[in-house]
């Protein structure tokens, strides 16, 4: 079996798409906080810790909830065999700015926790009981070749049996998220640079 993209999910322009099909669409005038709360309500899977997350984590978390809905990867592959490979452009700058603004009066410990971009990997791992290798990178733009090669190497070298590949970017009201699941399966689209770019841009 070849390594395939078995499912993918994107959130951008106030719209959620799962495998290319729109699940939720809001007008461009709707602010991010209102949109992401609507997405949380639509998913219908309560997780109160969501409301303590910063916006970047909320975006990654909600995208993963739709991507992994009805998939019990830890049970299927073993918790240590599920890896997360994420990247973005702005790191955690959005939260860094908000945290800096609180320092003038009283530094917010709840915001400080989120001043590292890889905290989103931790939140998703805790939620899904993943214990595999996690990696986060900062690139100027989406790097399909790097992400594809890294995920392929993890699976081929048996360091993972499945990899959640993600691009989650947020700064102010500008945001986008794209997550896909790479695994060895006959059902899916082969994991190649071209296919990963196609799904990311779709």
For the entire predicted model, the pTM comes to: 0.91
Give the distance between the most distant pair of CA atoms in the chain.
57
List alpha helices for the chain, DSSP H.
32-43, 55-68, 73-77, 93-103, 109-112, 119-128, 144-156, 193-201
Q: What is the pLDDT of residue 117?
A: 75
Q: Computed over its alpha carbons, how large is the radius of gyration of the chain?
A: 16
Nearest to 197 by CA among 156, 148, 152, 164: 148
**Model pLDDT for residues 112-134, shown as the tens digit of each residue:** 555 567 889 999 999 999 999 99
Structural domains in the chain?
3-201 (3.40.47.10)
The token duo for 74 is 């830890």
């Amino acid at each position: 079996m070849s390594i395939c993209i078995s499912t993918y999910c994107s959130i951008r322009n106030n719209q959620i798409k799962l495998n290319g099909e729109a699940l939720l669409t809001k007008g461009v005038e709707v602010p991010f906080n209102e949109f992401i709360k609507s997405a949380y309500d639509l998913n219908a899977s309560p997780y109160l810790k969501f409301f303590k997350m910063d916006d970047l984590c909320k975006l990654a978390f909600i995208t993963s909830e739709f991507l992994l809905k009805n998939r019990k990867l830890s049970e299927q592959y073993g918790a240590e065999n599920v890896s997360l490979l994420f990247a973005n452009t702005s790191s955690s700058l959005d939260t860094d700015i908000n945290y800096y603004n609180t320092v003038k009066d009283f530094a917010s410990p709840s915001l400080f926790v989120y001043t590292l971009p890889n905290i989103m990997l931790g939140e998703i791992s805790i939620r899904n009981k993943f214990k595999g290798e996690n990696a986060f990178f900062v690139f100027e733009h989406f790097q399909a070749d790097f992400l594809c090669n890294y995920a392929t190497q993890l699976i081929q070298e048996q360091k993972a049996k499945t990899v959640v590949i993600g691009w989650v970017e947020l700064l102010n009201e500008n945001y986008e998220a794209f997550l896909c699941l790479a695994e060895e399966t006959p059902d899916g689209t082969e994991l190649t640079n071209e296919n990963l770019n196609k799904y990311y841009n779709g």
